[in-house]
Structure 1
Amino acid sequence: MAVSDKFQRGPLVPNFLYSPSSSVSNRLIGLENPFLMANSSSSFVAAEPAKLGMVGVKNGVVIPAPNEPARKIKMFSPAFYAACTAGGMLSCGLTHMAVTPLDLVKCNMQIDPVKYKSVSSGFGILLKEQGVRGFFRGWVPTLLGYSGQGACKFGFYEFFKKYYSDIAGAENAVKYKTLIYLAGSASAEVIADVVLCPFEAVKVRVQTQPGFARGLSDGLPKFVKAEGALGLYKGLVPLWGRQIPYTMMKFASFETIVEMMYKYAIPVPKDQCSKTTQLGVSFAGGYVAGVFCAVVSHPADNLVSFLNNAKGATVGDAVKNLGVWGLFTRGLPLRIVMIGTLTGAQWGIYDAFKVFVGLPTTGGAAPPAPAKA
């Protein structure tokens, strides 16, 4: 039986968008070597496929090695975008719900700085007045709102990143990759905030007005009765003002930081790093990106909290009440800690989910420029 000199399969994704997660798993090793044995039926199998990371051929059929996933998601297929959407939903929903106590104190410090003067005193006041359960007031709208937002944010980011790269072409996609990251993340966040806005409005009202409602089930009808259905979107423009710069910084800085970490801080290329190392890079890059995000988006965050707390309030009222300095600084240290941790955890969970379903982690080595014809 004749066996071809070499079996090889190319990368599944354009090299200017992703680096392959494993150089071994992306190609097959030649079969014309001493490790192959012929059996009585003239079929061939690898002697030590698990050890060598190889595959065998039996009756003309490629047999995956035991350590290779039997089924992989094709890049940029509907299944790929569905996986990214599910990963984004998990990463944003779970992390935002986990930091509900910090978010609760931050919102109250923004709304009533006289009563909530510091982080420690804020926690003390909430514990005294509402008990331990009070720290998680508003967790349901937080979980649902940010799950929907995360699903749209990550899913549409992957879509728009590919879409804008295709429009630009391979060479320009490499040359202007940062602009593509910025445009893709901004486009995704516009959609994601439409999903988040009603939940954010109810969450802020529940968290900053004790006695208004216990949570989403009774808070949403009361809010609509008082403000009307359109009142749920009163804070949409300030939310865009907060979230779009935040998300642009979150994705573009993350991609850049991860690329620099693999280039300068990691002694081996990404495709030679273990999955644990790659996920550690994702968390570290996400945390640093989160610090930048908090600073850029904080003034709009103060506006959102003020507008959703005060009925009939305007942006002018918020600036007059908070002052320009207060708009940029009130609650900022706590938000830096919260957003840094939050963003790092989100990228860690998102990339862990991608690895779990057989996809490469986000970001990596600087993409090579395509060869000119």
Structure 2
Amino acid sequence: MDKSPSQSLVVPNFTLSDYETFFAAGALSAMLSHAAVTPIDVVKTRIQVDSSFKGHSFLSGTRHIISAEGPRTLLTGFGPTAVGYLAQGGAKFAGYEYWKRRFVLIAGDQETAVRNRTLIYLGGASVAEFFADILLTPLEATRIRLVSQKGYANGLVSGFTRLAREGGLREMYAGFVPILFKQIPYAIGQFTVNEFCHELVYRNISEEQRKSLTASSRFGIDLGSGIIAGFAAAVLSQPADTLLSKINRGHGPRRSMSRHLIEILNEAGVKGLFAGLGPRMIMTAGLVSSQFLMYGGIKEALGARSGVEIHKEK
């Protein structure tokens, strides 16, 4: 355990084995949750990038896809979604545990860490997400091509191979900057809001009540916190999510990233950037809440240690 000489700052001294467990739990929870909502993501992406879906709601868009292209279309991009978020989820959750601990140690004492906990949450989420997105970006580009360009490829391997062959690293990472603007606010909403929701609940109950909480009560707190965090993550990341979908369509002549972004912004407008927000909020609430529930459950099953806690008690 690491201790500060000034005050009783006690931080778990995680081993490589601990981080491997965090990675495995994060990878499985992210993969399962994202794969499960593939149909919602397909409809959301089509509303964002396909002009024929203009004016469609989530329900009408779903009906349109099923009637025009068949129900199997709703599973388009399942492969890159599962593999991409397997890698991204592991890196993000393990990274958040690592960077939150590092920033707590930098704070130096318990009082400073608690006072600056918002900055610690923001910093930990942002840095962890940056490195996780290096793994995610090529697979997200593949998924969007499969969804937005009918007949682009048959699945993950053929889609990824075609993207790499025709576009190289330039096209595979064309959406890296937008994905950072999408995923970092997403991670901030996911982790920071979840931390504060738990803190709010526990600050309003006594220590005796906290110790006597039943499993169902804890489940309800975790679920409710995850849903609220999911709504926050969706709203914060929606504009960049729309930009990412449009960039990864791959249409149009080659031009600089800045010029491409300006053209998309002019075309979409503020209203266009929030197209598909409704279904995405539903999707993200389910994603975030299920990820936290699965992450906690998998960690417990694997016998993992608890992460660093710096909630304000009173």
Query: What are the residue-to-residue correspondences of 1:49-198 with 2, within 5 Å?
Result: 76-115=14-53, 117-170=56-109, 171-198=111-138
- Aligned equivalents of 1:363 and 1:268: distance in 2? 22
Question: Is the Cα–Cα contact under 8 Å of residues 239 and 301 in structure 1 kept in the other structure?
Answer: yes
1:333 matched to 2:273? The reply is: no
> Quick one: percent identity of the two aligned structures?
33
Unmatched segments (≥5 aa) in structure 1: 1-9, 19-73
Question: Relative contact order, CA 8 A, sep 6+: which one is greater?
Answer: 2
Which amino acid is 2:297 matched to? Answer: A
- Aligned equivalents of 1:331 and 1:180: distance in 2? 31
Match among 257, 268, 275 for residue 322 of structure 1: 268
Give the 3 Å change call, closer, same or farther, for CA 97–339 of structure 1 in structure 2.
same
Give the 3 Å change call, closer, same or farther, for CA 265–202 of structure 1 in structure 2.
farther
Residues 173-232 of structure 1, C-alpha deviations (whole Å, 9 max, x = no match) = 122111111101101000000000000000000011111112111111211232223210
Residue 114 of structure 1: how far off its partner (Å): 3.4
Which amino acid is 2:92 matched to? Answer: K
Give the aligned partner of residue 196 of structure 2: 256
Residue 367 of structure 1: how far off its partner (Å): 4.6
**What TM-score do the two structures reach when normalised by structure 2?**
0.88
Query: What are the residue-to-residue correspondences of 1:215-226 with 2, within 5 Å?
Result: 215-226=155-166
Residue 368 of structure 1: how far off its partner (Å): 5.7
- Tell me how many residue pairs correspond in the alignment: 303
Give the 3 Å change call, closer, same or farther, for CA 265–307 of structure 1 in structure 2.
farther
Residue 295 of structure 1: how far off its partner (Å): 0.6
Which amino acid is 1:319 matched to? Answer: L
- Aligned equivalents of 2:232 and 2:32: distance in 1? 22
Match among 283, 300, 310 for residue 355 of structure 1: 300
Give the 3 Å change call, closer, same or farther, for CA 17–343 of structure 1 in structure 2.
farther
Give the aligned partner of residue 285 of structure 1: 225
Residue 264 of structure 1: how far off its partner (Å): 2.2
- Aligned equivalents of 1:95 and 1:277: distance in 2? 22
- Aligned equivalents of 1:271 and 1:366: distance in 2? 16
Give the 3 Å change call, closer, same or farther, for CA 275–80 of structure 1 in structure 2.
farther
- Aligned equivalents of 2:208 and 2:32: distance in 1? 33
- Aligned equivalents of 2:262 and 2:164: distance in 1? 24
Which deviates further from its counterpart, 358-367 or 192-201? 358-367
- Aligned equivalents of 2:10 and 2:49: distance in 1? 43
Give the 3 Å change call, closer, same or farther, for CA 230–125 of structure 1 in structure 2.
same
Unmatched segments (≥5 aa) in structure 2: none
Which amino acid is 1:322 matched to? Answer: A
- Aligned equivalents of 1:92 and 1:234: distance in 2? 23
Higher share of residues assigned helix: 2
Give the aligned partner of residue 243 of structure 2: 303
Give the aligned partner of residue 342 of structure 1: 287
Which amino acid is 1:301 matched to? Answer: D
Give the 3 Å change call, closer, same or farther, for CA 104–88 of structure 1 in structure 2.
same
Partner SS, residue 154 of structure 2: coil
Partner SS, residue 214 of structure 1: coil
Question: Is the Cα–Cα contact under 8 Å of residues 146 and 153 in structure 2 kept in the other structure?
Answer: yes
Structure number, greater radius of gyration: 1
Give the aligned partner of residue 144 of structure 2: 204
Partner SS, residue 309 of structure 1: coil
Which amino acid is 2:139 matched to? Answer: F
Residue 361 of structure 1: how far off its partner (Å): 6.0
**What TM-score do the two structures reach when normalised by structure 1?**
0.75
